[in-house]
Homo-oligomer: A and B are copies of this chain.
Amino acid sequence: MKIGWIGTGIMGLSMSGHIQANGHELFVFNRTKNSAEPLLAKGACWCDSPADVAARSEVLFTIVGLPEDVEDIYFGENGIFSVEGDCRIVVDMTTSRPSLAKMISRKAEDKGIDSLDAPVSGGDVGAKAGTLAIMVGGRRNIFHKVLPLFQLMGQDISFMGGPGAGQNTKMCNQILVAGTMIGVCESLLYASKLGLDQDAVIRIIGKGAAGSWSINNLGPRIVKGDYEPGFIVNHFIKDMRIALEEATEVGLSLPGLGLVCQLYLAVKAQGHGCSGTQALFIALESLNGGRL
Protein backbone atom coordinates (compact mmCIF):
# COMPACT_ATOMS: atom_id res chain seq x y z
CA MET A 1 0.00 0.00 0.00
CA LYS A 2 1.14 3.59 -0.60
CA ILE A 3 1.72 4.97 2.88
CA GLY A 4 2.39 8.64 3.58
CA TRP A 5 4.51 9.52 6.61
CA ILE A 6 5.06 13.02 8.00
CA GLY A 7 7.38 13.33 10.98
CA THR A 8 10.57 11.28 11.25
CA GLY A 9 11.70 12.16 14.76
CA ILE A 10 12.78 9.45 17.22
CA MET A 11 9.25 8.01 17.40
CA GLY A 12 8.19 8.49 13.79
CA LEU A 13 11.38 7.04 12.32
CA SER A 14 11.02 3.75 14.20
CA MET A 15 7.29 3.52 13.57
CA SER A 16 7.49 4.19 9.83
CA GLY A 17 10.44 1.82 9.65
CA HIS A 18 8.15 -1.05 10.73
CA ILE A 19 5.67 -0.08 7.98
CA GLN A 20 8.44 0.03 5.41
CA ALA A 21 9.95 -3.27 6.57
CA ASN A 22 6.58 -4.87 5.94
CA GLY A 23 6.76 -4.08 2.24
CA HIS A 24 4.68 -0.91 2.05
CA GLU A 25 5.73 1.94 -0.24
CA LEU A 26 6.60 5.01 1.88
CA PHE A 27 6.13 8.68 0.90
CA VAL A 28 7.95 10.80 3.43
CA PHE A 29 8.12 14.42 4.48
CA ASN A 30 9.88 15.95 7.47
CA ARG A 31 10.90 19.50 8.40
CA THR A 32 14.53 18.41 8.18
CA LYS A 33 15.19 15.92 5.39
CA ASN A 34 18.26 14.64 7.16
CA SER A 35 16.43 12.62 9.81
CA ALA A 36 14.47 10.76 7.10
CA GLU A 37 17.66 9.41 5.50
CA PRO A 38 17.43 5.88 6.98
CA LEU A 39 14.02 5.50 5.28
CA LEU A 40 15.16 7.07 1.99
CA ALA A 41 18.20 4.80 1.91
CA LYS A 42 15.80 1.84 1.94
CA GLY A 43 13.77 3.19 -0.96
CA ALA A 44 11.23 5.60 0.57
CA CYS A 45 10.20 8.48 -1.72
CA TRP A 46 10.97 11.97 -0.47
CA CYS A 47 8.14 14.51 -0.80
CA ASP A 48 8.63 18.26 -0.74
CA SER A 49 5.58 19.16 1.36
CA PRO A 50 2.68 17.65 3.32
CA ALA A 51 0.52 18.38 0.26
CA ASP A 52 2.91 16.34 -1.87
CA VAL A 53 2.62 13.39 0.55
CA ALA A 54 -1.17 13.67 0.52
CA ALA A 55 -1.21 13.71 -3.27
CA ARG A 56 0.76 10.49 -3.58
CA SER A 57 -0.27 8.22 -0.66
CA GLU A 58 -3.46 6.33 0.24
CA VAL A 59 -3.15 6.26 4.03
CA LEU A 60 -1.23 9.12 5.61
CA PHE A 61 0.27 9.12 9.11
CA THR A 62 1.52 12.20 10.94
CA ILE A 63 3.54 12.34 14.16
CA VAL A 64 5.22 15.65 14.90
CA GLY A 65 5.99 17.87 17.90
CA LEU A 66 3.34 20.36 18.90
CA PRO A 67 -0.37 20.82 18.15
CA GLU A 68 0.69 23.97 16.24
CA ASP A 69 2.82 21.79 13.96
CA VAL A 70 -0.12 19.44 13.43
CA GLU A 71 -2.36 22.37 12.56
CA ASP A 72 0.18 23.67 10.08
CA ILE A 73 0.69 20.28 8.44
CA TYR A 74 -3.04 19.74 7.94
CA PHE A 75 -4.42 23.25 7.42
CA GLY A 76 -1.39 25.32 6.32
CA GLU A 77 -0.24 26.42 2.90
CA ASN A 78 0.96 23.24 1.15
CA GLY A 79 -0.81 21.34 3.92
CA ILE A 80 -2.54 17.98 3.61
CA PHE A 81 -5.93 19.59 3.10
CA SER A 82 -4.63 21.98 0.38
CA VAL A 83 -4.75 19.32 -2.35
CA GLU A 84 -7.07 16.79 -3.90
CA GLY A 85 -4.96 13.66 -4.09
CA ASP A 86 -5.06 9.91 -3.59
CA CYS A 87 -5.21 10.13 0.17
CA ARG A 88 -8.27 8.35 1.64
CA ILE A 89 -7.41 8.20 5.34
CA VAL A 90 -5.33 10.54 7.54
CA VAL A 91 -4.11 9.40 10.96
CA ASP A 92 -2.56 11.85 13.42
CA MET A 93 -0.41 9.99 15.95
CA THR A 94 1.00 13.14 17.59
CA THR A 95 -0.13 13.70 21.18
CA SER A 96 -2.20 16.76 20.42
CA ARG A 97 -5.37 18.69 21.33
CA PRO A 98 -8.59 16.64 21.30
CA SER A 99 -10.31 19.73 19.87
CA LEU A 100 -7.81 19.81 16.99
CA ALA A 101 -8.52 16.12 16.30
CA LYS A 102 -12.20 17.06 15.97
CA MET A 103 -11.33 19.97 13.64
CA ILE A 104 -9.28 17.65 11.44
CA SER A 105 -12.11 15.12 11.45
CA ARG A 106 -14.66 17.73 10.30
CA LYS A 107 -12.43 19.14 7.58
CA ALA A 108 -11.53 15.65 6.36
CA GLU A 109 -15.22 14.75 6.18
CA ASP A 110 -15.85 17.88 4.10
CA LYS A 111 -13.24 16.65 1.67
CA GLY A 112 -14.70 13.15 1.58
CA ILE A 113 -11.80 11.48 3.36
CA ASP A 114 -11.59 9.73 6.73
CA SER A 115 -9.49 10.53 9.77
CA LEU A 116 -8.35 8.98 13.03
CA ASP A 117 -6.55 10.40 16.06
CA ALA A 118 -4.17 7.77 17.39
CA PRO A 119 -1.62 8.96 19.94
CA VAL A 120 0.71 6.40 21.45
CA SER A 121 2.47 5.57 24.68
CA GLY A 122 5.52 3.44 25.23
CA GLY A 123 8.24 5.91 24.27
CA ASP A 124 11.22 5.41 21.98
CA VAL A 125 11.76 1.90 23.37
CA GLY A 126 8.21 0.85 22.47
CA ALA A 127 8.43 2.54 19.07
CA LYS A 128 11.62 0.65 18.25
CA ALA A 129 10.27 -2.70 19.47
CA GLY A 130 6.86 -2.21 17.85
CA THR A 131 5.17 -2.58 21.21
CA LEU A 132 3.46 0.79 21.57
CA ALA A 133 0.04 1.26 23.10
CA ILE A 134 -2.14 3.04 20.52
CA MET A 135 -5.33 4.84 21.58
CA VAL A 136 -7.62 5.52 18.68
CA GLY A 137 -10.51 7.93 18.11
CA GLY A 138 -12.68 8.28 14.98
CA ARG A 139 -15.06 5.96 13.15
CA ARG A 140 -14.92 2.33 14.15
CA ASN A 141 -14.96 0.94 10.58
CA ILE A 142 -12.01 3.16 9.68
CA PHE A 143 -10.19 1.95 12.79
CA HIS A 144 -10.60 -1.61 11.55
CA LYS A 145 -9.30 -0.66 8.11
CA VAL A 146 -6.12 0.84 9.59
CA LEU A 147 -5.70 -1.81 12.32
CA PRO A 148 -3.30 -4.03 10.29
CA LEU A 149 -0.98 -1.04 9.96
CA PHE A 150 -1.29 -0.14 13.66
CA GLN A 151 -0.38 -3.74 14.46
CA LEU A 152 2.98 -3.25 12.77
CA MET A 153 3.75 -0.46 15.26
CA GLY A 154 2.00 -1.46 18.46
CA GLN A 155 0.86 -4.24 20.69
CA ASP A 156 -2.00 -2.84 22.67
CA ILE A 157 -4.35 -1.08 20.27
CA SER A 158 -7.74 0.19 21.43
CA PHE A 159 -10.62 1.93 19.74
CA MET A 160 -11.77 4.51 22.29
CA GLY A 161 -14.67 6.36 20.62
CA GLY A 162 -15.37 9.19 18.20
CA PRO A 163 -12.96 11.90 16.97
CA GLY A 164 -10.73 13.13 19.82
CA ALA A 165 -11.29 10.04 22.00
CA GLY A 166 -7.78 8.78 21.28
CA GLN A 167 -6.31 12.11 22.36
CA ASN A 168 -8.51 12.24 25.45
CA THR A 169 -7.39 8.75 26.45
CA LYS A 170 -3.77 9.84 26.11
CA MET A 171 -4.61 12.79 28.37
CA CYS A 172 -5.94 10.33 30.98
CA ASN A 173 -2.58 8.57 30.71
CA GLN A 174 -0.64 11.79 31.26
CA ILE A 175 -2.83 12.95 34.17
CA LEU A 176 -2.17 9.60 35.82
CA VAL A 177 1.58 9.93 35.22
CA ALA A 178 1.57 13.45 36.68
CA GLY A 179 0.07 12.33 40.00
CA THR A 180 2.28 9.27 40.20
CA MET A 181 5.43 11.33 39.54
CA ILE A 182 4.77 13.80 42.36
CA GLY A 183 4.25 10.81 44.64
CA VAL A 184 7.50 9.20 43.49
CA CYS A 185 9.58 12.36 43.86
CA GLU A 186 8.19 13.50 47.21
CA SER A 187 8.50 9.99 48.60
CA LEU A 188 12.18 9.76 47.62
CA LEU A 189 12.79 13.31 48.82
CA TYR A 190 11.38 12.40 52.22
CA ALA A 191 13.52 9.24 52.25
CA SER A 192 16.62 11.26 51.46
CA LYS A 193 15.93 14.00 54.00
CA LEU A 194 15.21 11.46 56.74
CA GLY A 195 18.43 9.57 56.00
CA LEU A 196 16.94 6.36 54.63
CA ASP A 197 18.59 4.18 51.98
CA GLN A 198 16.47 5.22 48.99
CA ASP A 199 17.14 2.02 47.05
CA ALA A 200 16.04 -0.07 50.01
CA VAL A 201 12.90 2.08 50.28
CA ILE A 202 12.08 1.53 46.59
CA ARG A 203 12.60 -2.21 46.97
CA ILE A 204 10.10 -2.53 49.79
CA ILE A 205 7.43 0.03 48.82
CA GLY A 206 7.61 -0.66 45.07
CA LYS A 207 5.99 -4.08 45.30
CA GLY A 208 2.74 -3.48 47.15
CA ALA A 209 -0.19 -1.08 47.05
CA ALA A 210 2.15 1.89 46.53
CA GLY A 211 3.83 0.25 43.54
CA SER A 212 3.92 1.72 40.05
CA TRP A 213 5.95 1.58 36.86
CA SER A 214 7.34 5.00 37.78
CA ILE A 215 8.69 4.15 41.24
CA ASN A 216 10.25 0.93 39.98
CA ASN A 217 11.74 2.31 36.76
CA LEU A 218 12.36 6.02 37.32
CA GLY A 219 12.91 5.79 41.10
CA PRO A 220 16.30 4.03 40.80
CA ARG A 221 17.40 6.61 38.19
CA ILE A 222 16.58 9.45 40.59
CA VAL A 223 18.65 7.74 43.28
CA LYS A 224 21.61 7.56 40.88
CA GLY A 225 21.13 11.20 39.82
CA ASP A 226 20.43 9.96 36.28
CA TYR A 227 18.15 12.47 34.55
CA GLU A 228 18.65 11.17 30.99
CA PRO A 229 15.31 11.34 29.23
CA GLY A 230 12.99 8.50 28.53
CA PHE A 231 10.36 11.18 28.02
CA ILE A 232 11.45 14.84 28.18
CA VAL A 233 10.05 17.49 30.50
CA ASN A 234 9.15 19.92 27.69
CA HIS A 235 6.94 17.32 25.99
CA PHE A 236 5.30 16.40 29.26
CA ILE A 237 4.53 20.06 29.96
CA LYS A 238 2.96 20.32 26.50
CA ASP A 239 0.73 17.33 27.28
CA MET A 240 -0.28 18.58 30.74
CA ARG A 241 -1.17 21.97 29.28
CA ILE A 242 -3.36 20.31 26.65
CA ALA A 243 -5.12 18.32 29.38
CA LEU A 244 -5.60 21.41 31.55
CA GLU A 245 -6.93 23.45 28.60
CA GLU A 246 -9.30 20.70 27.54
CA ALA A 247 -10.47 20.31 31.14
CA THR A 248 -10.98 24.07 31.42
CA GLU A 249 -13.04 24.04 28.24
CA VAL A 250 -15.44 21.47 29.68
CA GLY A 251 -15.41 23.14 33.11
CA LEU A 252 -13.39 20.55 34.99
CA SER A 253 -11.10 21.45 37.91
CA LEU A 254 -8.06 19.19 38.35
CA PRO A 255 -6.11 20.60 41.32
CA GLY A 256 -3.48 17.86 41.36
CA LEU A 257 -2.64 18.20 37.69
CA GLY A 258 -2.56 21.99 38.06
CA LEU A 259 0.01 21.79 40.84
CA VAL A 260 2.19 19.22 39.10
CA CYS A 261 2.18 21.24 35.87
CA GLN A 262 3.34 24.34 37.79
CA LEU A 263 6.15 22.34 39.38
CA TYR A 264 7.25 21.05 35.98
CA LEU A 265 7.32 24.63 34.73
CA ALA A 266 9.79 25.21 37.57
CA VAL A 267 11.83 22.21 36.39
CA LYS A 268 11.97 23.85 32.96
CA ALA A 269 12.77 27.29 34.42
CA GLN A 270 15.72 25.70 36.17
CA GLY A 271 17.11 24.58 32.81
CA HIS A 272 15.97 20.96 32.79
CA GLY A 273 13.41 21.12 29.96
CA CYS A 274 15.28 18.47 27.98
CA SER A 275 15.87 16.16 30.95
CA GLY A 276 13.64 13.17 31.65
CA THR A 277 10.42 13.61 33.61
CA GLN A 278 12.14 12.24 36.72
CA ALA A 279 13.86 15.67 36.92
CA LEU A 280 10.81 16.79 38.91
CA PHE A 281 12.96 15.59 41.80
CA ILE A 282 15.46 18.40 41.12
CA ALA A 283 12.79 21.10 41.30
CA LEU A 284 11.50 19.69 44.59
CA GLU A 285 15.05 19.60 45.93
CA SER A 286 15.69 23.20 45.00
CA LEU A 287 12.30 24.18 46.44
CA ASN A 288 13.77 22.77 49.64
CA GLY A 289 16.99 24.70 49.44
CA GLY A 290 19.02 22.61 47.00
CA ARG A 291 20.63 19.22 46.97
CA LEU A 292 19.66 17.22 50.07
Contacts and interface: CB of A to CB of B under 8 A. Distances in A.
Interface of A: 98, 121-123, 126, 133, 135, 156, 158, 160-161, 165, 168-169, 171-191, 193-197, 200-201, 203-205, 207-215, 217, 230-231, 243, 246-247, 250-257, 259-260, 263, 284, 287-288
A214 B254 CA distance: 18
A172 B158 contact: no
A255 B285 CA distance: 12
A172 B187 contact: yes
Contacts of A250: 193-194
Contact of A205 (B121, B214, B252, B255): B121
A22 B274 CA distance: 56
Total identical chains: 2
A183 B187 contact: no
A186 B179 contact: yes
B121 A186 contact: no
Contact of A168 (B174, B190, B215, B251): B190
Contact of A197 (B161, B255, B284): B161
Contacts of A203: 158
Given A165-B194, A176-B186, 6 more contacts: A135-B204, A172-B201, A175-B187, A179-B183, A180-B183, A190-B243
Q: Closest 8 interchain pairs by CB?
A: A179-B183, A212-B212, A182-B256, A176-B187, A176-B210, A173-B205, A175-B187, A179-B182
A161 to B, nearest CB: 6
Nearest to A204: B158
A160 B213 contact: no
A205 B122 CA distance: 10
A153 B251 CA distance: 48
